[in-house]
């Protein structure tokens, strides 16, 4: 039997290259798996790349709105803390603290051209003068009505005090957002009804120092937030500032009570309770502890207002030492 060389079959055909069986086999081995004949097989799939671990990217997606509307990294740090992220949690995202994590989130987020105002210890501008004028109004109304001997002087003082000391707060979410406002007005009205118009005038006179103390505390806390590098560091700086503002207001409230002829054991705890209520509402604190303290002050017992003010002060020290309480609304 004669063996035919495959190369000889094509040798005589013009334009046809000789067939190399060994080379064809090697070409077939080098072809990607799954590739079929031209136009009929499945295209070879490129190998998948393993994505590098990026936990910050997932966090950025989860808090995209917060990161995009923030005017500086401090806003993001305060927002993260409000969502329960602490310095210890930040270590899972390969950062030493929440502030460092916030700086990366801010750098990786798109932002509009917004110029953040530098914190000032003495705020100025039309808004600051308008707020000071509104703080002067209760004292003017209460003193004028009391001097004229009007029967409605106590009611006017209560309404003015409740509006000026309590109303400036952030929008509350959930049911009954204004329960704290109504309870504060009830506390002031009950005290003025039991102890006379002089107490209402004393509370009205304390509105101005209360406003100034609250504004100074907010500005000072914001300045300390700018200079902090960790949440614990900010808390250590904010607590003495709050206690100093509270002590200054307590002294001013005592002076206002003396000027109005109101009893000090009643006027000072009540003024302090309303001041802390105003401060906590302004910084977006939870309403439940505030309402509980105000409800306790409604009890017709001399020590009720003192106990309520002391309890609310403890809550304020804990709540207002958080960076999230000082984020821009």
Q: Are residues 101 and 136 in the same domain?
A: no
The residue whose two tokens read 């917004």 is: 114
Q: Are residues 71 and 144 in the same domain?
A: no
pLDDT computed for residue 86 by the predictor: 81
Q: Are residues 89 and 182 in the same domain?
A: no
pLDDT reading at 243 higher than 90: yes
Chain Cα centroid distance, residue 169:
13
Return the CA Rg of the chain: 36
Q: For residue 260, count other CB atoms closer than 10 A to its CB.
A: 24
Backbone torsions φ then ψ of 138, nearest 5 degrees: -60, -40
Distance between CA atoms of residues 265 and 277, nearest Å: 19
Give a yes or no: residue 218 inside a domain.
Answer: yes
Give a yes or no: residue 245 inside a domain.
Answer: yes
Q: Residue 112 — pLDDT band, cuts 50, 70, 90?
A: low
Distance between CA atoms of residues 322 and 286, nearest Å: 13
Q: Are residues 158 and 215 in the same domain?
A: yes
Q: How far is CA 259 from CA 117, 157, 236, 255, in A?
A: 39, 15, 36, 6
Give a yes or no: residue 270 inside a domain.
Answer: yes
- Is the distance from CB of 116 to CB of 226 less than 8 angstroms? no
Q: Are residues 72 and 158 in the same domain?
A: no
Distance between CA atoms of residues 43 and 319, nearest Å: 62
Give a yes or no: residue 24 inside a domain.
Answer: no
Q: Are residues 204 and 322 in the same domain?
A: yes
pLDDT reading at 275 higher than 60: yes
pLDDT computed for residue 20 by the predictor: 52
Q: Are residues 306 and 239 in the same domain?
A: yes
Residue 169 vs residue 130, higher pLDDT: 130
Q: Are residues 101 and 132 in the same domain?
A: no
Residue 141 vs residue 321, higher pLDDT: 321
Query: Hey, what are 282's tokens?
Result: 């302004």
Averaged pLDDT of the chain: 76
| Number of structural domains the chain divides into | 2
Residue 125 is given by DSSP the state: S
pLDDT reading at 193 higher than 80: yes
Distance between CA atoms of residues 244 and 231, nearest Å: 20
Q: Are residues 147 and 186 in the same domain?
A: yes
Q: How confident is the model over 274-284, as a mean pLDDT?
A: 89
Task: Give the list of residues 6+ apart from residue 145 with CB closer than 8 angstroms, or none.
Answer: 152, 153, 156, 157
- To the nearest 10 degrees (0 to 180), the angle between helices 302-319 and 231-260 is 150
Q: Are residues 102 and 153 in the same domain?
A: no
Query: Hey, what are 179's tokens?
Result: 């329960």
Among the residue ranges 61-65, 147-151, 199-203, the one predicted with the least confidence is 147-151
Query: Hey, what are 125's tokens?
Result: 């501008």
Sign of CA dihedral 196, 198, 204, 208: negative
Give a yes or no: residue 120 inside a domain.
Answer: no
Give a yes or no: residue 279 inside a domain.
Answer: yes
Give a yes or no: residue 32 inside a domain.
Answer: no
Q: Residue 264 — pLDDT band, cuts 50, 70, 90?
A: very high
* pTM (predicted TM-score): 0.68
Distance between CA atoms of residues 329 and 75, nearest Å: 10
Q: Are residues 269 and 210 in the same domain?
A: yes
Residue 311 belongs to domain spanning: 126-326
pLDDT computed for residue 35 by the predictor: 46
Q: How far is CA 220 from CA 211, 232, 236, 315, in A?
A: 14, 17, 13, 19
Q: Are residues 98 and 139 in the same domain?
A: no
Highest-scoring range by mean pLDDT, 88-97, 160-169, 195-204: 195-204
- Is the distance from CB of 175 to CB of 160 less than 8 angstroms? no
Give a yes or no: residue 4 inside a domain.
Answer: no
Chain Cα centroid distance, residue 200:
34
Task: Give the list of residues 6+ apart from residue 173 with CB closer than 8 angstroms, or none.
Answer: none
């Amino acid at each position: 039997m004669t063996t035919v060389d495959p190369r000889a079959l094509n040798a005589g055909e013009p334009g046809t290259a000789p067939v190399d069986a060994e080379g064809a086999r090697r070409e077939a081995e080098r072809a990607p798996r799954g590739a079929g004949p031209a136009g009929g097989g499945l295209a070879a799939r490129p190998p998948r790349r393993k994505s590098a671990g990026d936990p910050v990217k997932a966090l950025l997606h989860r808090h995209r709105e917060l990161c995009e509307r923030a005017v500086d990294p401090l806003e993001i740090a305060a927002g993260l803390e409000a969502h329960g992220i602490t310095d210890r949690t930040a270590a899972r995202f390969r950062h030493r603290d929440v502030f460092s994590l916030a700086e990366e989130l801010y750098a990786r987020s798109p932002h509009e051209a917004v110029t953040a105002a530098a914190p000032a210890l003495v705020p100025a501008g039309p808004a600051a003068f308008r707020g000071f004028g509104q703080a002067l109004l209760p004292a003017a109304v209460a003193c004028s009505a009391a001097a004229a001997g009007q029967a409605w002087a106590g009611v006017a003082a209560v309404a003015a005090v409740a509006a000026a000391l309590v109303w400036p707060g952030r929008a509350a979410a959930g049911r009954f957002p204004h329960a704290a406002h109504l309870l504060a007005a009830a506390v002031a009205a009950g005290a003025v009804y039991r102890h006379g118009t002089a107490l209402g005038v004393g509370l009205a006179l304390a509105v101005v120092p209360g406003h100034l103390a609250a504004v100074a505390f907010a500005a000072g806390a914001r300045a300390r937030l700018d200079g902090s590098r960790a949440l614990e560091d900010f808390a250590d700086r904010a607590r003495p500032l709050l206690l100093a503002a509270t002590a200054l207001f307590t002294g001013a409230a005592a002076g206002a009570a003396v000027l109005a002829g109101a009893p000090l054991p009643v006027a000072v705890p009540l003024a302090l309770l309303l001041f802390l209520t105003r401060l906590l509402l302004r910084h977006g604190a939870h309403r439940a502890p505030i309402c509980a303290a105000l409800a306790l002050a409604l009890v017709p017992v001399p020590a009720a207002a003192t106990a309520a003010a002391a309890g609310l002060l403890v809550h304020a020290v804990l709540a207002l030492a958080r960076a999230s309480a000082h984020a821009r609304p």
